[in-house]
Amino acid sequence: MNLIFLGPPGAGKGTHAKVICEKFGVLQLAAGDILRKNVKEGTSLGLQAKAVMERGALVSDELVNNMMFAEILALKSSKGFILDGYPRTIVQAEALKKFFAKEKIALTAVINFMAPEEVLVDRLSGRRGCPKCGKIYHVRNMPPKKDGICDRDGEKLTIRKDDEPETIRHRLKVYHESTKPLVEFYRKTGLLHDVLAGGDAPSVQKILEKLFEKIH
């Protein structure tokens, strides 16, 4: 099962990808997480991406395509994958289509996460993450048991630099300009499923599980 999770920042792609991966044994490839890991490790890709990411703009198509193709090839023998936050531009989607054709990889479905703008802003501004295991929390909607501390490993939770209010607004603008056209791109393939993702995590999860039982 090879999936693409499409949608604006804050729509819940990452949160739900983690649950679907556990349930169906597929692997999550989150472009943003892989880029942040490169920034942390100070790789050449990380050095090129850091400033762009901090201001909430998009890293170049060429860099992201090469990074994601290498990641996909590395897990070709797995049960499948969820591409989370990739592709994000028409150029990336066209390149991915060619790559899939060359590697004989079949795309199973594209999930389009939709949520009202005020919900997105609220989710992003209250988002906290564990720098060690990657678990995502929200100060109000999904708080950890102990304030500011990861339930899994006791690590201190952090706020992403690009979750500052000004940067959130810019990232949403970038989504509308560059990524939203992908909805029509994938709708034409007949593989797109719209999911209303503005509700709380457990109810969105139920909608997704029903959908995946059909798709799987």
Where does this chain bind ligand AMP (CB under 6 A)? 9, 31-32, 35, 52-53, 56-59, 64, 85-88, 92, 162, 171
The CA–CA distances, whole Å, from 34 to 28, 43, 45, 85, 149 equal 10, 11, 10, 11, 23
Comparison of 12 and 85: residue with beta carbon closer to ligand AMP: 85
* Contact call for residues 4 and 192 (beta carbons, < 8 A): no
Residue 171 a catalytic site member: yes
Comparison of 174 and 204: residue with beta carbon closer to ligand AMP: 174
Residue 37 a catalytic site member: no
Q: Is the preceding peptide bond at 8 cis, omega within 30 degrees of 0? A: no
- Catalytic residue, chosen from 140, 146, 171, 188, is 171
Distance CA 180, CA 37 (A): 26
CB nearest ligand AMP: which residue?
A: 32
Distance CA 216, CA 87 (A): 22
2 Cβ neighbours under 8 A, 6+ residues apart: 26, 80, 81, 105, 106, 107, 108
Residue 88 a catalytic site member: yes
Comparison of 154 and 181: residue with beta carbon closer to ligand AMP: 181
Comparison of 74 and 154: residue with beta carbon closer to ligand AMP: 74
CB atoms closer than 10 angstroms to residue 167: 19
Task: Find the shortest distance in angstroms from Cβ 38 to ligand AMP.
Answer: 10
Q: And the tokens for 121?
A: 């802003």
* Contact call for residues 160 and 137 (beta carbons, < 8 A): no
Instruction: Specify the residue for token string 């990889």.
Output: 105
Active site residues: 13, 88, 127, 160, 171
